[in-house]
Structure 1
Amino acid sequence: MASLPVSSASTLSPARGAALIAGACGLGAALVILAATRSPAIAGGFLASGLLIVGGLLLFRRLFPPGRAEAAEPDWSVARTLAASSPEAVAITDRAGRLVCANDRYEALFAGFPTPPGLPIDETGVARLSAAGRTAWRDGAASIDRLLARGTSLEAKIERAGADDDLLVWRFRGAEGLDLGATVEAVIAGPTGDRLAAAGIMAALIAPDGRIRAANRVLRARAMGHEEGAVQGRDFARFLITDSHGLVRFEREGLTGAPLRVLQIPFLDGEDAPMLVVLLDEEGGASEPAIGASAAAHVRSLVSLMPFGMALVDRDGRFLQMNDAFARAAQVDVASPPLYPGDLLVKEDKGVVADAIRRFANGATHSTDLAVRLKDHPDEPVALSIAGARGLGDAAVLLSLKDNSEETRLKREVAQATKMQAVGQLAGGVAHDFNNILTAIIGHCDLMLMRHSPGDSDYDDIQQIRANSNRAASLTRQLLAFSRQQTLVPQILQLPDVISEVSTLLKRLLGETVTLTVKHGRNLGPVRADPGQLEQVVVNLAVNARDAMLAKDPRGGGTLSIQTMAVTSTDVRKMGSDILPIADYVALEIADTGGGIPPEIIGKIFEPFFTTKEVGKGTGLGLSTVYGIVKQSGGYIFADNHDQGGRDQGAVFSIYLPVHATPQPAKKGSMPALTRDKPTDLWGTGTILLVEDEDMVRAVAERALTRQGYTVLTAENGEVALDLLARNDRPDLLISDVVMPVMDGPTMVRQVRARYPDLPILFMSGYAEEHLRRSIDLDNVSFLAKPFSVQQLAEAARGALNAK
């Protein structure tokens, strides 16, 4: 271990010494006064004075602690011991960017003790590492992958540590390469390499630049003339020559030396990965090498020791051996493996793999990589490498299978999140257009109802049209919820309180056959969300769970479990999720004992209008609404299946809401919601400038405002509105849509406010107010959500005028 010395502090600080002296003086004075006056009261007064002085000095020391230079030297022995025992390369730096300590693996990886981020990597990697370090100082942790150091692919994790959060811990490990390369290097240079040497098998690990990283003793003896020859770091190709027949020999032995069979084993992906090379003596030129049973046994031992998936196949395409890593990647039992490699694959991939094995068994020299699908998991392709293995007894082909299930899972999660984002944008746009249409329909219905009384023959038909329009408006609100563009009223609340409020309703919804269990964890932090919307989330998930359990067993019902728990940033870091940022969360888990979610649809359940229910029994917006509410609240939701004691398998939905730390100040330009008392007198006078690009919405709004007594000027976009203002007097109110072609509402209003700073503004939009605040930084503006009725428009206009 390497450590940076830190200056030590004196044994007793001046403040503490002064406090002790003052206390001793006070006590001595009190004894003298007591002896002289025989008055305990006077002596007690002197003693109290001394204690007061001591307390003041100690308080001064606490309020003004000594600087860093006076701090005692930290005990780095524990940190050095932990770092030395870590399989990763570990370094610790302080606030000044100085290297405090690092372990031996760090020294071996970077050829010394360079200070992060100034490591021997490419310039782009140094810049990325510097940015990750700044992120770790700010957020507490950061990670980065695909760093290239001395031919090794690395990933780094940086965490803030120390009692005062004044240290950074840098941990580096190979993205497969560091661990596997070091393991193979140790195998070759250790006893296993000696056993291979005893069987006449020469093995070497070659770096990407063609230089030798490790070699066993028989290769050193043949290449250098003695077993102690220093071959590390030398160009491997310089030790070999090729004759006119294409036979390979050692350069030191010349053309009279024994020809060699060269077997390359690419056990890692990528151009920067090291290569395992095995050399075997051949007899009779290009004939089959003579290899005994002992050598073959050693080769099989080497295969079984490899930490990556390897298997040997004979000339007939049958398995001879597979190691545990290959069995895990192929998800088969190593005790009873399949007969042929094709038995692992789907029907469409069997022919391609069989042809490749046949080609390499007949002498093909170059390896190949194939993307194949296992029959047990046809939706997740895996990487299969195939290479010739002549010279290993009965083995003719070497297979290497990479277990990329974790990588596939992460790709699937990222793709799902990307797809949901795109679908959400589409749903939001559709909802916005529908809101414009519904605004016109509802407005015209209101205008017609003003001309008809309840006894008229058309009155009921108009009311029916209006009711259906309001029903359609509720569907658009669900689409806006999915696209995270609905209007929320967030509050600081405790999640158990929300569950308690909705529990009574849940018991009625679930019925007598379904048992509801609720369990709350400890130390739950507050969250910031809309309580009504959270209740809708719980109700939607509970109703879906009830339907799933009753579909599985209509008479038996099942159990719905609701659990809350605290999830710390450390817990999130251990989860290793690329979707969930590292932070403190309050988790809500809703699980049932139904039939679970079929794997083929688990990635679609949050999409709008997707449903597994019968036609007419569901809109497909329940889970999409849940998804939108959770995401708009800053949270994350995951769906999975779980197994309860091997008996009941059901679905589990996990919701993570971030812990609310401190209240955020209101942003400048936030639009006040129209929650003030509604004006009773909706008639008014004055001029209103109405700006709306949709003709049907502009027409119904103009008629509605004119009926209320206003003079209305209309414009179809922002530029036309500015021209009207230039030709007319100042209006009393400006009502504008937000999203318009040519010039949008906020841009127009900024120019209008430059001329009329106190002009009241009323924005109307089919998008949510929360969504629009990000692009509107204006003061004293109000908001009206579409679709709206004639009554709501009149109330909003009167309210905006009264707020002047």
Structure 2
Amino acid sequence: MGAALAVSLGIVWLATNSAPAVAAFAAGLVALGGLTWVLARPKPVQQQVEYALPDWSVTVAAIDRPDCAVAITDRAGRLVCANRAFEVWFTTAHAPPRLPVDNASLERLAKAGRSGWRDGQGKADIIENESGRWSAEAQRAGRGDDYLVWTISPLSNPDPVAELVPHLDGKLGRALAAAGMAAAIVDPDGKIRAASSGFAARATGDPAALLTGQEFTAFLRQDERDQVSWAREGRRGNPLTMYYLPVRDPDAPGAVDYGTTPSLMLLVEAGVGLGGGAVEGTAAVPHLEALLGNLPLGLAMADRDGRLLFANPAFMRAAGREGEAPPVYPTDLVVQEDKGAISDAIRRFAQGPAAAGDLAVRLRTQPEDPVTLSLAGVRGLGEAAVLLSLTDSSEETRLKRQVAQATKMQAVGQLAGGVAHDFNNVLTAILGTCDLMLLRHTPGDSDYDDIQQIRANSNRAASLTRQLLAFSRQQTLRPEVLQLPDVVQDVSTLLKRLIGEKVKLSVAHDRDLGAVRADPSQLEQVIVNLVVNARDAVLAKGEIGGGKITLATRRVTAADVRAMRSAIMPQVDYTALVVEDTGTGIAPDYLGKIFEPFFTTKEQGKGTGLGLSTVYGIVKQSGGFIFADSEVGKGTKFTVYLPVHHASPEELAAKTVRAEPAAQWAGGGRVLLVEDEDMVRAVAERALTRAGYTVTAAADGDEGLAYVEQGAEFDLVLSDVVMPGMDGPAMVREIRARHPSLPVLFMSGYAEEQLRKEIDIADVHFLPKPFTVQQVTDKVGGVLAAARI
């Protein structure tokens, strides 16, 4: 190639005789040759790296540990490798986190697995089943982080006794002996499990004596004064103070079982403290204070001079002094009149033989309610003292007050129902007389407006009786199956006028609300009363902008009720009415009294105290529940729960049948009117006579029954329920024995539902008092028309 290159350059020189041309030609040949060499150079062969599949046998050998279970899972949750401990404890049929453990453990394992894949590691502190308890850890591993390594370690219960025994035989025991304390661990059966050198020296005279398995009490003696000393020292021995401590895991759940728990016994000569220094008073006080300090019983100890040595927190709580330091004398806790009795009792129990007794005292914190103070003489643990026991009776006192309040409310309710019944008779006479007078006067007469005024005031009085009956849950309800939003919609226009322009009213409804069965007019009264109270609370706060009232209906399922954990409400579906305001709120002291009658926080003359009690009565009589939540300064929320009404098969069948038009009564008929109130009887008689009926009036049940027995024929019996002598139901039963199909119409001021349960007579009708002339004539005509069908 070199010769050819030289020849080529010579030829170019001969042809051109030009040195630049030769140089250019030579450079071109060099460039062409270099390009040819680059293109023709052989490429290096890329080395192929092959990875071998993991050798799981090596992994199994590496993780073969007897103290814990190890398992490896892939991203699909499959078990790819496990050691022998895992196979024994859980079997290879289960892969973490799906192990044969309880549900709570499964949740913890699943959470640990998610943390392992996400963060690289996860942990489940406790997993357990019937065969054991473990802790589990999950760690992500592998070249592509494709595996989770699970390490499951068993949890063992700590044995504090086993841990304490070598210390008692070692430096701890020698340190206790140097401080003048003898220590021993005693099993529940009274046998010594381990003893310090100081205990062995005092009990036997030989510090190296082996006392394991011997009776603890065999080394002690008790004299006639119940003082304990070393048996080896006899009568010359000094009294001992014993400190008793159950040896158990302090973090273990549950209470101490003294019958199964070993005890650490520390014995110190009386008058010597735990640090070796002298102490005054009863030597056993620190021991008892440590023993009784955390008990739920109210316990304290007093010396023979009446000084209070200690009192546990439960004792101070029962005395109404929770969180305070115990006083110097227990007599400081009671009223002046009971101080002498307590002092005498303490002196008697401290100096006399061991005995116990009770004493009724009155605490300074609640002088109206006596409590029982139990006293017991303490012997055998040093100087004589008296153990005092006081039970926390605050809950019992609260329950007593609630029962007394409930009894009082029941009596007030019965009184309100009786007053309303009698008042309804008076109002019936007044309203009936006004109606009869209006038949003779026309608008424009001088007396017409006065009569209308009397009638209007009588109707206001009738609304008051309805409130009283609502409070006593004795009003006559006319329940219908309805949708709660429809009732809210009907009354919303009235509510806007009631609250005014300063207060904003917001209305919201949930979807798919269940129907409820209630009296729509009574529900309207509930809504109005709650909104009016909310308006007053908002205006009383005086906010700029007036505040806000929220009126809402909510769907509450049985699952929601279970989540509420209410012990009062049955777990069924409800439709809830919520009235919430941004007003002043209700103080916690008043929140439990707001549904009581005549209780009000408004100024005198601005509230009767019957609004919320009326609401409560209507809600309870409708089968519902009402709750109030309030925070002072932020507002109040009332929630009314009404059970969802599920139609019975009879109701569903009735909906499919087209109702026939009601028959109309042509007028006339023979009516037996029985009423003990003269004015009511006179009004009803005149009203029915004017309507074309033939009326026979009787003053009581005996007189009415006499007309029937004499052979008089009647088309209808119109009778009061409650009458002196023979009442209405008794008279009707006698009449029905002779005329089974005779229509009966009862009139009463009591609730229809209550009366139907009490009288238990079929096919009777009711007319609530007070009634107008038009109402009594229409009702009589309707009953006679229904009897004709």
Length-normalised TM-score, structure 1: 0.58
Return the match for 1:773 from 748, 752, 756: 756
Match of 1:544 in 2: 533
Q: Deviations over 1:147-192 (max 9, x none)?
A: xxxxxxxxxxxxxxxxxxxxxxxxxxxxxxxxxxxxxxx9999989
Change (3 A) 1:568 1:708: closer
Change (3 A) 1:798 1:254: farther
Change (3 A) 1:487 1:504: same
Q: CA deviation at 1:462?
A: 2.8
Separation of aligned partners in 1, 2:330 and 2:502: 46
Match of 2:682 in 1: 699
Q: CA deviation at 1:475?
A: 1.0
In the alignment, structure 1 residue 340 sits paired with structure 2 residue 340: no
Return the match for 2:466 from 474, 477, 482: 477
Kept in 2: contact 1:220–1:229 (CA 8 A):
no
Q: CA deviation at 1:685?
A: 3.3
Separation of aligned partners in 1, 2:576 and 2:470: 21
In the alignment, structure 1 residue 621 sits paired with structure 2 residue 642: no
In structure 2, give the amino acid aligned to 1:767.
Y
Separation of aligned partners in 1, 2:339 and 2:445: 79
Separation of aligned partners in 2, 1:321 and 1:574: 44
In structure 2, give the amino acid aligned to 1:754.
A
Change (3 A) 1:387 1:453: same
Q: SS of 2:579's equivalent?
A: strand
Aligned ranges 1:255-266 → 2 under 5 Å: none
Return the match for 1:762 from 745, 766, 769: 745
Q: SS of 2:470's equivalent?
A: helix
Separation of aligned partners in 1, 2:540 and 2:330: 36
Separation of aligned partners in 2, 1:187 and 1:751: 85
Change (3 A) 1:755 1:572: same
Q: Deviations over 1:671-729 (max 9, x none)?
A: xxxx9979697xx4332111122232222222332333333222233333222101023
Separation of aligned partners in 1, 2:390 and 2:746: 60
In the alignment, structure 1 residue 728 sits paired with structure 2 residue 718: no
Kept in 2: contact 1:258–1:281 (CA 8 A):
no
What is the count of residue pairs matched by the alignment? 587
Match of 1:656 in 2: 641
Separation of aligned partners in 2, 1:554 and 1:343: 52
Change (3 A) 1:399 1:582: farther
Separation of aligned partners in 1, 2:637 and 2:328: 36
Separation of aligned partners in 1, 2:183 and 2:646: 64
In structure 2, give the amino acid aligned to 1:737.
D
Change (3 A) 1:801 1:300: closer
Aligned ranges 1:87-166 → 2 under 5 Å: none
Q: Deviations over 1:301-342 (max 9, x none)?
A: 4344435555677899898766666677788785xx446389
Aligned ranges 1:367-386 → 2 under 5 Å: 368=358
Kept in 1: contact 2:600–2:609 (CA 8 A):
yes
Q: SS of 1:714's equivalent?
A: strand
Separation of aligned partners in 1, 2:721 and 2:322: 63
Kept in 2: contact 1:692–1:736 (CA 8 A):
yes
Separation of aligned partners in 1, 2:194 and 2:723: 77
In structure 2, give the amino acid aligned to 1:473.
A
Separation of aligned partners in 2, 1:191 and 1:379: 52
Change (3 A) 1:698 1:507: closer
Match of 1:490 in 2: 479
Separation of aligned partners in 2, 1:354 and 1:649: 50
Change (3 A) 1:523 1:692: same
Q: SS of 2:586's equivalent?
A: coil
Match of 2:732 in 1: 749
Q: CA deviation at 1:736?
A: 1.1
Match of 1:527 in 2: 516
Kept in 1: contact 2:721–2:747 (CA 8 A):
yes
Q: CA deviation at 1:535?
A: 2.8
In structure 1, give the amino acid aligned to 2:694.
T
Match of 2:594 in 1: 605
Separation of aligned partners in 2, 1:190 and 1:405: 43
In structure 2, give the amino acid aligned to 1:626.
V
Kept in 2: contact 1:188–1:214 (CA 8 A):
no
Change (3 A) 1:711 1:512: closer
Kept in 2: contact 1:372–1:381 (CA 8 A):
yes
In structure 2, give the amino acid aligned to 1:653.
F
Kept in 1: contact 2:470–2:617 (CA 8 A):
yes
Q: SS of 1:757's equivalent?
A: coil
Kept in 2: contact 1:342–1:350 (CA 8 A):
no
Kept in 1: contact 2:581–2:635 (CA 8 A):
yes
Q: Deviations over 1:249-296 (max 9, x none)?
A: 7999999698789999xxxxxxxxx9999999897xxxx765545886
Kept in 1: contact 2:289–2:312 (CA 8 A):
no
Q: Deviations over 1:490-528 (max 9, x none)?
A: 233444554455455444433444444566678764432
In structure 2, give the amino acid aligned to 1:800.
V
Match of 2:291 in 1: 302
Kept in 2: contact 1:311–1:321 (CA 8 A):
yes
Q: SS of 2:696's equivalent?
A: strand
Match of 2:430 in 1: 441
Higher Cα Rg, which structure: 2
Change (3 A) 1:310 1:695: same
Q: SS of 1:538's equivalent?
A: helix
Kept in 2: contact 1:443–1:789 (CA 8 A):
yes
Separation of aligned partners in 1, 2:559 and 2:302: 45
Q: SS of 2:730's equivalent?
A: helix
Q: SS of 2:758's equivalent?
A: coil
Return the match for 1:463 from 431, 434, 452: 452
Kept in 2: contact 1:685–1:711 (CA 8 A):
yes
Separation of aligned partners in 1, 2:530 and 2:491: 12
Q: CA deviation at 1:374?
A: 7.9
In structure 2, give the amino acid aligned to 1:597.
I
Change (3 A) 1:307 1:766: closer
Q: SS of 1:656's equivalent?
A: strand
Q: CA deviation at 1:777?
A: 4.3
Kept in 1: contact 2:242–2:268 (CA 8 A):
no
Separation of aligned partners in 1, 2:763 and 2:431: 28
Separation of aligned partners in 2, 1:423 and 1:187: 63
Kept in 2: contact 1:249–1:255 (CA 8 A):
no
Where does the alignment leave 5 or more consecutive residues of structure 2 unmatched?
A: 1-99, 106-128, 131-158, 205-210, 245-256, 277-283, 652-659
Q: CA deviation at 1:593?
A: 3.9
Return the match for 2:771 from 788, 795, 798: 788
Kept in 2: contact 1:317–1:358 (CA 8 A):
no
| Identity within the alignment, % | 54
Separation of aligned partners in 1, 2:716 and 2:419: 30
Aligned ranges 1:47-126 → 2 under 5 Å: none
Kept in 1: contact 2:319–2:390 (CA 8 A):
yes
Kept in 2: contact 1:692–1:698 (CA 8 A):
yes
Q: CA deviation at 1:434?
A: 0.6
Q: What CA RMSD, in Å, does the superposition of the two structures yield over aligned residues?
A: 5.8
In structure 2, give the amino acid aligned to 1:474.
S
Change (3 A) 1:388 1:617: same
Match of 2:53 in 1: none
In structure 1, give the amino acid aligned to 2:672.
L
In the alignment, structure 1 residue 802 sits paired with structure 2 residue 785: yes
Return the match for 2:411 from 422, 425, 429: 422
Separation of aligned partners in 2, 1:343 and 1:513: 59
Separation of aligned partners in 2, 1:341 and 1:493: 67
In structure 1, give the amino acid aligned to 2:677.
E
Match of 2:141 in 1: none
Kept in 2: contact 1:389–1:395 (CA 8 A):
yes
Kept in 1: contact 2:227–2:381 (CA 8 A):
no
Separation of aligned partners in 1, 2:458 and 2:378: 73
